[in-house]
Amino acid sequence: MSTASPSILTKIQDFLASLRLTMALLLILAIVSIIGTVIPQGQLAPEYLAAIGGEQGNRYKLYSMLGFFNMYYSWWFVGLLSLLSLNLTACSIKRLPGVWRVAFKPDGLLTDSVERSATVCHKLPAAEALSLKEIAVRLRSTWGTASDIEHEGTRHLFVQRRPWNRLAAYVVHASIILIFAGAIIGNLFGFKGFVNIPEGGSAGTYLDKKGGEKPLGFTITCDQFTVTYYDAPGGGQSQMPKEFKSILTLTENGREVPGYKHARVIVNEPLTYRGITFYQSSYGSSGSHTFKAGDPKGGKEVTLTLDSQSSATLPDGSRIRVLESVQDVSPFMQGLHGPAARIDLTPGEGHQHLTVVAFANHPELNRQQAKENGGMVIDYLGGEERPYTGLQVNKDPGVWVVWIGCILMCLALYVAFFMPHQRIWVRQDKDGIVIAGHTTRGQETFRTTMEELLVTIRVNPGKEEQQS
């Protein structure tokens, strides 16, 4: 047992740090991610049942068990992402010490194995090459000071550029972990919610994702909400919205917050205060309307006021709901004037529901309608509709960690791909000079660089002839 367990541990470690696991995870993640793009995410159960069907909803049960309706947060998808993070970390821990040695603790010796793995290697007979000391001088101008090492009777020069390129791949890996960390921080310490504020109204709370009411810690007032439209090609305004704009004022402890009086929020220009950001998200209108309902044969009359979104019950048991209202009906109905409301009327059991128009200035028409449908006389006493603004409310303290991760990733990718680590070794032995070069990327360009370098360290043949 005692001899077997470490080997299993080593095997697990090797597996976790293996590139094969990386490849497998990346391709599996690519494939399974497709599921959630085909099955709409985060809908309600009845909608899924209707769309999927299957024998007694068996398919629904299976999909639901596998978390397909919220799959990017399901245990197995999060598990795959965690395994990828573990793989990245294990890989980095395993390889980093060796890579660090290659980059920052090079022995600077041009050994046979270095020669074999070099991008370019040239040999010059002693007579054709400058002395090692001269070569070091030539190298200094473009490559910097070379280390000069004597090892077992042979002298080696070594010089390198951008050794930190070797770390770039690990910075990319770390940046992925950082982005995950930022997402987790946001989930733990942030929130997402929503608030509707009518024009002229205020709110000190928002609705969280589960519909619970939470305090903001300050009050937000909607001074104005407007929608503007693009001009139509033939003049006038088109149906295409150009801008949704809320003018907001923030107050805290009964005082206006400096700099937040009549602040503008439009789509793509949110407003942030105390780490909470408000985004222009939707709009609509809401208001209240008052009606008087009476028996057509006279007698008791009731007055009732209802919100534009809700319905109310009349004394005879029928229900009414406001569909729309106008302050002046004349443009829509010739010969009539004054306020009017179109209402949805649902009489008691067994009757069909119908649409009637209640007028403020034409009680005779209201009475006539009541006669036709056998219900109560409904008079409109007036009301008002106010636009409201719908704001997305967000707090995400992890977002900066995510952005730092993103910036690091971009920089590191650039360094990894376009700023190669380049090394040059020169060795002097009894036959002459051996010069080898290695680059991590861009071999073509590097070969040219090495050719040019070779010219500068070669003894000028023409000059030699003149001398002889």
Partner 1 sequence: MISPTLFNVTTIFYMASTLAFFAYLAGRNKNIGLGGVALAWAGFAIHTVATGLRWKESYDIGMGHAPLSNLYESVVFFAWSIVLIFGLIDAKYKYRVIGAFVMPFALLAMAWGQLYLPTDINPLMPALQSNWLLYHVLTCFLGYAAFAVACGVSIMYLIKAKSEERGTDAAGGIVSQFPPTKVLDELNYKAIMIGFPLLTLGIITGAAWANYAWGTYWSWDPKETWSLIVWFIYAAFLHARFTKGWVGKRAAWISIVGFAATIFCYLGVNLLLSGLHSYGGI
Binding footprint of partner 1 on the chain (CB under 8 A): 19-20, 22-23, 26-27, 29-30, 33-34, 36-38, 40-41, 72, 183, 192, 230-231, 238, 240-244, 266-268, 270, 277, 279-281, 392, 394, 396, 399, 402-403, 406, 409-410, 413-414, 417-418, 441, 444
**Structure tokens, 257:** 């917050």
146 or 391: whose CB is closer to partner 1?
Answer: 391
CB of 397 to partner 1, least distance (A): 13
44 or 127: whose CB is closer to partner 1?
Answer: 44
81 or 354: whose CB is closer to partner 1?
Answer: 81
Phi, psi of 31 (to 5 degrees): -75, -50
365 or 399: whose CB is closer to partner 1?
Answer: 399
CA dihedral 251, 189, 33, 66 (to 10 degrees): -110
* Rounded Cα–Cα distance for residues 326 and 385 (Å): 9
45 or 410: whose CB is closer to partner 1?
Answer: 410
CB of 78 to partner 1, least distance (A): 12
CB of 414 to partner 1, least distance (A): 6
189 or 418: whose CB is closer to partner 1?
Answer: 418
CB of 21 to partner 1, least distance (A): 10
CB of 423 to partner 1, least distance (A): 19
CB of 230 to partner 1, least distance (A): 4
CB of 427 to partner 1, least distance (A): 29
CB of 188 to partner 1, least distance (A): 16
8 Å CB contact between 380 and 154: no
231 or 324: whose CB is closer to partner 1?
Answer: 231
8 Å CB contact between 307 and 287: yes
Residue 392 burial (CB count, 10 A): 16
Q: 381 to each of 120, 289, 290, 323, 325, how far by Cα in Å?
A: 93, 8, 5, 16, 12
* Rounded Cα–Cα distance for residues 186 and 200 (Å): 33
168 or 358: whose CB is closer to partner 1?
Answer: 168
* Rounded Cα–Cα distance for residues 72 and 34 (Å): 11
Q: Is residue 85 helix, strand or coil?
A: helix
182-186 contacts, C-beta under 8 A, 24 or more apart: 182/398, 182/399, 182/400, 182/401, 182/402, 182/403, 182/404, 182/405, 183/398, 183/402, 184/398, 185/397, 185/398, 185/401, 186/396, 186/397, 186/398, 186/399, 186/402
CB of 450 to partner 1, least distance (A): 18
Element (H, E) at 215: strand 213-231
CB of 171 to partner 1, least distance (A): 13
153 or 234: whose CB is closer to partner 1?
Answer: 234
282 or 330: whose CB is closer to partner 1?
Answer: 282
DSSP string, 14-31: HHHT-HHHHHHHHHHHHH
> What b/e sequence results for 267-293 when a residue is b if at least 16 CB atoms lie within 10 Å of its CB, and e otherwise?
eeeebebeebbbbbbebebbbbbebbb
**Structure tokens, 37:** 């793009």
376 or 401: whose CB is closer to partner 1?
Answer: 401
CB of 17 to partner 1, least distance (A): 13
108 or 186: whose CB is closer to partner 1?
Answer: 186
* Number of helices followed by number of strands (H, E) in the chain: 13, 19
First and final C-alpha spacing in the chain: 79
8 Å CB contact between 432 and 110: no
Please list the residues that pair with 120 across neighbouring strands. Answer: 437
Q: 195 to each of 216, 250, 286, 311, how far by Cα in Å?
A: 10, 14, 14, 22
* Rounded Cα–Cα distance for residues 246 and 389 (Å): 7
CB of 91 to partner 1, least distance (A): 10
